[in-house]
Each structure stands twice: as C-alpha cells, then as structure tokens.
Structure 1
C-alpha cells in the first residue's frame, strides 16, 4: 500500500486532526477537491493504516473523572506470556486512558482518569497489588494538564 503523502493529504490530515467531525464537502472546500476526491483520499489513507480512526475529546473533569494519574510499573518477569497478561489486565480497564510498554527503569507507563484518590487506591489494589507480576509502581498525580492531545506533527 502506498503511504507517500502529498501536500493535499497533509492538509486533509491537519484539518481532520483539528476537527474529525468536518463533513467531506467542507474538507474538499478547504483543500480544493471534490467530495468524491476527498472520499477516495480518505479511503486510501485509512487502508494504508495512516488514519486509524476518529475520536471525540471530552472534558473528564465535567464527567466525574477530574483526577489524572500517571503510574509507572515494574514487572517481576518479562516473559512474553506474563507481559501479555499484565498488558491485558491494564488495557481492559476503562480508567486506563493510555498504556505504554517502555524501555528503561519502568516497564509500563499508564495514564489513568479516576474520580478521586479513593478510587485510585482501590484500582491499585486490584491492578497492581493483586498481580503477582507487578514488582513495584510509582504514582504521580497531575496537578494541571498543560497540554493533552494525540495530534501528530505532519511537517
């Protein structure tokens, strides 16, 4: 699959990252293409795996999840089956917003959204203390989310 991008592709992707709800007709007007041409390009970008999906950003503090926590985990064993089991236990939880398997001192870095510290404490007991393969963990509570996003720089 061809993954080379021209300037129109980049402009389409920029527009979609800013607002994924834009109709294809509005996208076409922004980049000088017909709706059908926009449709073809978006289909190609999706089939190439460049567009993974679209999401909606919500305000967690207005939806009962005002506390953002960053947790770092170290595992006892990095055997693939044990790592996969840890990963599966983490990603199935709706409180876990992001989960990264990383190199370095820690094995996993998590971003979690919780109601309060009592909910986080309960979660640590279930996810961390309740898992024999979690050796230790560290917690940072976010005081201010200066920037939150998933946009990819395109230029």
Structure 2
C-alpha cells in the first residue's frame, strides 16, 4: 500500500485524514477503517442536471441538453467529456427488451460460497463477471455470498447456465433461483440528488 499523505486534519477528538484512495476516520491511534475505490469527483448543479437528462435519453441532441441546463454546447461537451474521463458516466448503451430478442427467462439467484476466503470470492467474482448471461451481480451481506440476475432464452438453456456456474462449481455450497413471472420494472436510472 502506498504511503498516505494527509491533506486535511481535524484536531478535536477524532481525526479525519483524506488521502488519494482511502478515508481514515477514528481516534488518533485508529487504523484504516474504510478503503474507497476511487476519489469521488465533485459534481455541481450543472453536472447533476446533465446526468438527469442523459440517463433518460443519451441520444438527446447536445444542443437541446445545453439549452435545458442553461449552458453553451461547448461547455456541455467539456462537462460530459470530463464525467466520462472521471468514470461518472461509465458508458453509453442501448437498452434492449429481452423478450424482443428471445430471452424469455429471467431469474434472480442467491448464491452461497463454501467459505468467504478472499481467493475464493475473487475467483467467483471473475467467473460471474465473465458470464454474459449474468446481467447484474452483487457481492452481499446477510447470509448470502452473491445475488445476481440472469437471463436465458429458455429453461433448457437456464439449466445449462446453472450447471456451469453453480452446480459444477466446487466453490458454490448452494444456490437458489427465483424465476420472474413478470418484469414490473427494469432500469439503471439513478436518482441524482
């Protein structure tokens, strides 16, 4: 781990030290309590307004977005580019209706690993990340290891996926599938404060 250089210290009681990749909060003799993946970029009201619009429709003309948020088109382009570089905007994609492309089975799956040793968890994360049928996957608390959403064309395909990912995987102690009867809501749009 690289050496940490404090940028801000509060002297009364607890110490708060801001660093490039970690935030230390605690008593003066405390150890690291939380490692942050990345520094969170500062977003102003313009950035937040832009994000609200592009989440709903990223094909909206930039001229229209600029007018809606009261910026010039050039300023809007710079802000969008900066949010893409910083990772705020991860990617621009088309949302495809699974039923329209023959993916009629949607399943929410709870997975329990044999143990939670780092090497086993990391290997499972990579396996699930690389499986194209896994649409979303979360490493969770509460007695389960992972919760994920899987789509498949039919039950025969779904069975093959579960065999490959879970039943034949020595790291998986158990798994439980919940088949969706109806997709009530599906989306990735965030509520931007």
- The answer for the alignment partner of 1:62 in structure 2 is 100
- The answer for the alignment partner of 1:148 in structure 2 is 186
- The answer for the alignment partner of 1:101 in structure 2 is 139
CA distance in 2, matches of 1:138, 1:119: 17
Encode CA deviations 1:113-146: one digit per residue, 9 max, x unaligned.
Answer: 1111111111111111111010000010011111
Give the number of the structure with larger relative contact order, counting CA–CA contacts within 8 Å between residues 6 or more apart. 1
Alignment RMSD (CA, Å): 1.5
CA distance in 1, matches of 2:155, 2:40: 47
| Deviation for aligned residue 1:2 | 7.6
Encode CA deviations 1:19-58: one digit per residue, 9 max, x unaligned.
Answer: 0112322211221221110011112222332211222111
Gaps of 5+ in 1: none
Match for 1:27 among 54, 57, 65?
A: 65
Structure number with the higher helix fraction is 1
Aligned length, in residue pairs: 155
- The answer for the alignment partner of 1:44 in structure 2 is 82
CA distance in 2, matches of 1:101, 1:80: 12
CA distance in 2, matches of 1:94, 1:82: 20
| Deviation for aligned residue 1:91 | 1.5
Larger Rg: 2
- The answer for the alignment partner of 1:125 in structure 2 is 163
- The answer for the alignment partner of 1:13 in structure 2 is 51
